[in-house]
Structure 1
Amino acid sequence: MTRELAALGLSLCLLATPADHARADDLPVRKAGLWEVKMVRTGSPLPEMTMQHCTDETIDKEMNNMVSPMAKQICSKQDIQKTATGFATDSVCSVAGVSIASHSDIVGDFNSAYTVTTTSHSDLGNKGAPRDTVTKIEAKWLGACKPDQKPGDIVMPGGGFKLNVKDAAKLQNLLPGAKP
């Protein structure tokens, strides 16, 4: 469970972290409504995953602002640049004895669909051999959130587990070195 939590925290940091020369307010926000987010990883034992995220402008901005302090604690490098097609990010983060260097290309319009392609190199320290992975996130807007959903709700595969990203802020305190 701890390894999955660390991976989730790092994934959030690597994909949504504002850097020193790009503020969270400068990053695009997704169109309000229900987004399907599909994650496919190569070079990783983690399976493909498709989840749904109900969001609005406020939640997207809060997510960027929430991730930024966590990233400052665990990332020695976090750069984001505007490109002709979207954004490019470069990060070096470490948590639970695992160091991950990554590069992401983010393209799309954030109104109907976007794609994040991340190449990363993980140094697992004494926990195993280094690993290179490619993660592709394909997100598409599905329409309005379902009646039983509120902005921030993430429904995991199988529909049985739902978490609101505002509750995820509490998980930050579980990371090693986090200050209560």
Structure 2
Amino acid sequence: MTRKLALLGSALCLVLSAGAARADDLPVRKAGLWELKMIRTGTPVPEMTMQHCTDETVDKEMNNNVSPMAKQICAKQEIKKTATGYVSDSECSVAGISTTSHAEITGDFNSAYTVKTSSHAQGGAVGAAGRDTTMTLEAKWLGACKPEQKPGDIVMPGGFKMNVRDIDKLKNLLPK
């Protein structure tokens, strides 16, 4: 059960980072199957590789559905276009833990992109001293989705599968 909660938490982080910007800020990813590799430091969460089947509608829905949730938990959320991609800065608070994050997004949303995020969290279970973490998300387009997949499906390590369109279920896991 703890492993599934960790995976769901990581999926939620992935969805939040992918959907943190308004739909018109980031380009829509090429439709098909994307491999998403998350590499984290400063946290016990292991490296994870997931596959996400997406299309234009799902990417837009992710941005539109997650943005209201992010607005509820984030006091600051900015994204800016740069010469090499995008930069995002946010300040969010969930369950008494405040997190400040900076992300740099480079690459191309048709074949491969990278999101490098550095965060500082403090309060709650993290403690007053806080904890610094970094995460690199390496995404690459693999081709068409598999026949048994539908847009929005994410296949996590161990074969656990969820659909980002079920984000309301993830919202219910967040403390009120």
Aligned to 1:146: 146
The structural deviation recorded for 1:8 is 4.4
CA RMSD of aligned residues (A): 1.9
Total equivalences in the alignment: 172
Gaps of 5+ in 2: none
- The answer to whether the aligner puts 1:12 opposite 2:12 as a matched pair is no
Gaps of 5+ in 1: none
The structural deviation recorded for 1:171 is 1.9
Instruction: Give the secondary-structure state (helix, strand or coil) at the position aligned to 2:151.
Output: coil
Aligned to 2:124: 125
Question: Which AA in structure 2 matches 1:166?
Answer: R
The structural deviation recorded for 1:97 is 1.6
Report if aligned partners of 2:97, 2:125 keep a CA contact under 8 Å in 1: no
Aligned to 1:62: 61
The structural deviation recorded for 1:96 is 1.4
Report if aligned partners of 1:36, 1:52 keep a CA contact under 8 Å in 2: yes
Structure 2 distance, partners of 1:7, 1:147, is: 26
- Name the TM-score, length of structure 2 as normaliser: 0.90
Structure 2 distance, partners of 1:3, 1:122, is: 19
Report if aligned partners of 2:103, 2:118 keep a CA contact under 8 Å in 1: yes
Aligned to 1:157: 157
Aligned to 1:75: 74
Report if aligned partners of 2:40, 2:133 keep a CA contact under 8 Å in 1: yes
More strand by share: 2
Structure 1 distance, partners of 2:5, 2:165, is: 21
The structural deviation recorded for 1:142 is 0.3
- Name the TM-score, length of structure 1 as normaliser: 0.88
Structure 1 distance, partners of 2:77, 2:30, is: 25
